[in-house]
Amino acid sequence: MTSQSELSPTPAQSSIAERASSVAVLPTVYSVIFAIAFCHMLNDMMQSLLPAIYPNLKRTFDLDFAHIGLVTLTFQVTSSLLQPLVGLYTDRRAVPFALPIAMVGTFVGLLLLAFAASYSVLLIAAALVGMGSSVFHPESSRVAHMAAGPRRGFAQSMFQWGGSTGSALGALGAASIVAAEGQRSIAWFCVMAAIAIGVLSWVGIWYRHHGMARAKRAIQAQARAPLPKRVVARSLAILVILIFSKFVYLASLSSYYTFYLIERFHLSVRDAQLHLFVFLAAVAVGTIAGGPLGDRFGRKHLIWFSVLGALPFTLMLPHANLFWTSVLSACAGVTLASAFPAIVVYGQELVPAKVGTISGLFFGLSFGMGGLGAGALGWLADLKGIGFVYGVCAFLPALGLLAAFLPDLRKGA
């Protein structure tokens, strides 16, 4: 006969039940998620302005390409390499108002960029804009994680979709305003930074009063027997390789797709750009869909499907006619883009006490690998031809096979 003590939950079981209950009562705070996505849109619109004025800067300051490259390097170093360090610091010490402070840096950087009278001021401006981005991305990803409740994938997708939308709108703004009006017109975009400072100040108040408590409860709810360090290290290495395969292939399309279409199908620049727009729209759809799909079907499964699932499309693309090239590039864009929200959230759940560090590392890598990949592929295209580049890059999604070695962190996730 079963005793009452056998029927009663053990202390460990009670603790697990309490943690599960604490996660269940954490609602998704949509207002914070949408605020972060909106500010991500504004941030990435402003980030896209710097390369837009390179022709003006080259003319005004009589710069050569080496000087332009140094401006780009300054921006890339401050915006990419600092992100993991920012995440590491804020994991150890919460800074609720880091986001509006970062946006103040962007505001000042834009003003300096608009009215710079010397090359040294240009470098300082580029560094300030880059530093604003280096704080914004890991911290806003952390806030999205805090506000997500059970919908972490959705929150990450919304956040990333805001950035994708901002980059697209920034290109339009740069073409219609900055290219026409010149360097001084950048000052008008400071209005966007001021709006973002106001919105992010409200987010900082929420962070201080509610976000930190939610983050602690989420860490407690995710508490489990710690994975061996070698498993964590191996999993992070796999995720980095998957980020490499995704962003290098996407760089091959976003940077050189129009050249490929013009060379192979003899399209006009305008028609090639329309095909590029179809691809970029597909990437935006994949970004917004990836997080919710990961919430629904499990992040490991979604990562596996997103990276490896693009392989048939990328392998067929170099051999397709114009119509199927457009279709296959869109399919590859949707599939690959859906991976990154799931990869970020999986990494955050893999190391739940290091949400900022993981966010900074993955976003920094995504920026850096995309830039390095574009440069390397450009060199390869000069050497072997643009068709050869797409033939080689077609095999990158095969690295998705490595997702099989990722551990299952929890049921349904």
How sure is the predictor about 220, in pLDDT bands with cuts at 50, 70 and 90?
low
Determine which of 6-10, 28-32, 146-150 has the lowest per-residue pLDDT on average: 6-10
The Cβ of residue 81 has, within 10 Å, a number of other Cβ atoms equal to 15
**Overall CATH class of domain 16-221:** mainly alpha
Report DSSP state, residue 79.
I
Is CATH 1.20.1090.10 what the domain over 229-405 is classified as, yes or no?
A: no
pLDDT tens sequence across 130-167: 899 899 999 998 899 899 888 889 999 999 888 878 87
Exposed, middle or buried, 72 (CB in 10 Å: 0-12/13-18/19+)?
middle
The Cβ of residue 100 has, within 10 Å, a number of other Cβ atoms equal to 19
pLDDT tens sequence across 228-279: 889 999 999 999 999 999 888 887 777 778 888 888 898 887 788 788 888 8
Question: Which residue has better confidence, 201 or 149?
Answer: 201
Best mean pLDDT range from 48-62, 249-263, 284-298:
284-298
What six digits make up the tokens of 264? 């192979």
d(CA 147, CA 273): 37
Buried b (16+ CB within 10 A) or exposed e, 165-204: bbbbebbebbeebbeeeebebbeebbebbeebbebbeebb
Question: According to DSSP H, which parts of 25-118 are helical?
Answer: 30-47, 49-52, 54-61, 65-76, 82-92, 98-115
Question: Which residue has better confidence, 19 or 29?
Answer: 29
Backbone angles phi, psi at 149, to 5 degrees: 60, -130
What is the per-residue pLDDT for 131? 92
In the chain, residues under CATH classification 1.20.1250.20 are: 16-221, 229-405
Question: Which residue has better confidence, 169 or 130?
Answer: 130
Residue with structure tokens 């295209």?
Answer: 381
Torsion of the alpha carbons at 399, 242, 51 and 106, rounded to the nearest 10: 180
What is the per-residue pLDDT for 312? 94
pLDDT average, residue stretch 194-220: 87
pTM value is 0.77
**Residue 203 clears pLDDT 70, i.e. is over it:** yes
pLDDT tens sequence across 348-362: 888 888 888 898 889
What six digits make up the tokens of 177? 């305003």
Question: Which residue has better confidence, 187 or 218?
Answer: 187
CA neighbor of 54 nearest in space, from 191, 179, 212: 179
What is the per-residue pLDDT for 35? 96
pLDDT average, residue stretch 267-295: 84
Report DSSP state, residue 398.
G
CB 399 within 8 A of CB 241: yes
What six digits make up the tokens of 271? 């028609």
What is the per-residue pLDDT for 279? 85
pLDDT average, residue stretch 60-86: 81
d(CA 253, CA 278): 11
Question: Which residue has better confidence, 20 or 377?
Answer: 377
CA neighbor of 142 nearest in space, from 21, 261, 33: 33
